[in-house]
Structure 1
């Protein structure tokens, strides 16, 4: 079940990367690159920091999913106005899934809960950050949007539920739903964090 969810997370993040490429009218190779870094960038960075073999090297199925998803996204006809909405929703699903999957991966490496939370947030946001940098956009994590905050809250919820000895599957589902609802709510009502003002 967790493996299937991991592949699904890779697919939805690959969609968001390929959709970003479509918006910028990149060629198919550019779409594949953006799909790839969005889908596995955060997880790769996490695994390298945990000193374990990146997941996609041990299992090339992840690369097959990325390629298939990117090709499908590039050739699928979309009505005007859809790309941006689909990109946001796909990114929100990926954020929720990867935050929880990243934490689970870190905990399996027997790190502390604090480190696992950091790794979960990193897994959730780093791929999208690399995507935005390569596509010439200001990364979502650096904007006022409720993005990394949603990932952090989801990670904290998972940590609290596990600390309370809840079954990991149920705890993961609740944490993913929490992250997803926060992010989608922020998108729907254009919620943003307050900015820091410099007073002289």
Structure 2
């Protein structure tokens, strides 16, 4: 009888401690910081520009699944390069990717200023880049450059028109494990990187 009572008493004392530890562990996971950040690499590496269903579409490389970054603690600069003896090391692992918008308006094409009366617009086979700020931070967008004789998009001459840049607005979430120069683990957090994909020229009218 004494043994049964002793076992029951131990259970009563230990169970609350176990539940408390579980709650603390779950709370710690939920408190991991998530930042909207500017990637330490070029997110608009163009694979090709081609015409698809009458649209001049720019295709980009996908963001990497994993990569490491050296963070200089004095200058605040980050770079993907060989190990640095005085830098913190950040190891990025892709968690997931989602599409914020499948047809997002990134703004006006940088090669045309204002509205024009035109029957169409010519675009080059080379690309031009420009920066735009979206809800998850700044990103760089590439699109077929103005001029040349690569692609022609028709417009309604009876209306004032202007080329704009549309495409997929994508966000990629990374888990970041940070280590000091000695390789000792410091902390874990998450970073969201916005990027563009399959950008194309759309003619808009007043």
Give TM-score, length-normalised by structure 2: 0.21
Greater fraction of residues in helix: 1
Give TM-score, length-normalised by structure 1: 0.22
Work out which of the two has the higher radius of gyration on C-alpha atoms and give 1 or 2. 2
Greater fraction of residues in strand: 2
